[in-house]
Amino acid sequence: MSPHLVHDVPDGLTRRARSCVGTHGVRIDVRPVETHRRWWLERGIPAPVIDRMAAYQQRWGGLLLPPAARYDGGPRYLDPDSPEGSDSEGWWFEAGLQRTAVPYSFMIGPSGEFGIHAERWVPLHATVEGWVESLALAHHAAMWAQGITKVVGEDVDRIERDGHEPVGEVRGLADTWWRGADSLVAVCTGEAEALSFPRGRTAVIYSGLDDRGLRGGG
């Protein structure tokens, strides 16, 4: 499982995210999904679900990215495992192992969402690309901001967001990004929703950004 540089950055990302993955990411060799196909089929996992896992692995498998600011860094690296669900509710599979002992799993949802599963399933971003874009944007904003402020709990609702627009490339669901005249705001509610813990809501305000800091490569 020796790491190596990422020479095949997945397409469909912004220039900012492609640069982040290519510069700060590495690939780790992983065991192909196909080696488990028969075992999963014998246990009632539908073939289309295994096909989805194989496609995910082909695109993202073994990709190790810089730690996320939330979720104790996010998955250690991206790779599918542990399919679960039903034909009526849909099927999920693990997006990658946790870096630390957190009370939830990182999962890919029935429609390709990236999220966490604890007491309940909470999709954070509509796609894996959205999660990667969010990591890249956080890394970029932290480098360019003149000030960084963290807000938690009910205070998140008091953040002034007039004149801010959603950052579309992160494809935010429970977690969103907002762009203002000179600031970026990341709002993370995933842990609060998954663990029924309202104080877990968090926002990070990156202030004092010029145009390059607001958009650079986006």
Q: Using CA atoms, how far apart are residues 138 and 161, in angstroms rounded to an integer?
A: 18
Q: Do 137 and 179 contact (CB within 8 A), yes or no?
A: no
Q: Do 42 and 36 contact (CB within 8 A), yes or no?
A: no
27 three-class SS: strand
pLDDT of residue 6: 73
Closest CA to 55 of 116, 108, 97: 108
pLDDT of residue 4: 62
> C-alpha distances in angstroms, 101 versus 4, 71, 75, 79, 128?
26, 10, 11, 18, 22
At 30, the amino acid letter reads: V
Q: What is the DSSP letter of 68?
A: P
Q: Using CA atoms, how far apart are residues 144 and 211, in angstroms rounded to an integer?
A: 10
Closest CA to 10 of 132, 185, 138: 132
Domain boundaries, the chain: 3-131, 140-215
pLDDT of residue 2: 56
Q: Do 95 and 128 contact (CB within 8 A), yes or no?
A: yes
206 three-class SS: strand
Q: What is the pLDDT along the chain (218 residues), one digit of tens a residue?
A: 556 667 788 999 999 999 999 999 999 999 999 999 999 999 999 999 999 999 999 999 999 999 998 999 999 999 999 999 999 999 999 999 999 999 999 999 999 999 999 989 999 999 999 999 999 999 999 999 999 999 999 999 999 888 899 999 999 999 999 999 999 999 999 999 999 999 999 999 999 999 999 988 77
> Exposed/middle/buried for 203, CB within 10 Å: 0-12, 13-18, 19+?
buried
Q: pTM for the full model?
A: 0.94
Helices marked H in 61-194: 128-144, 190-194
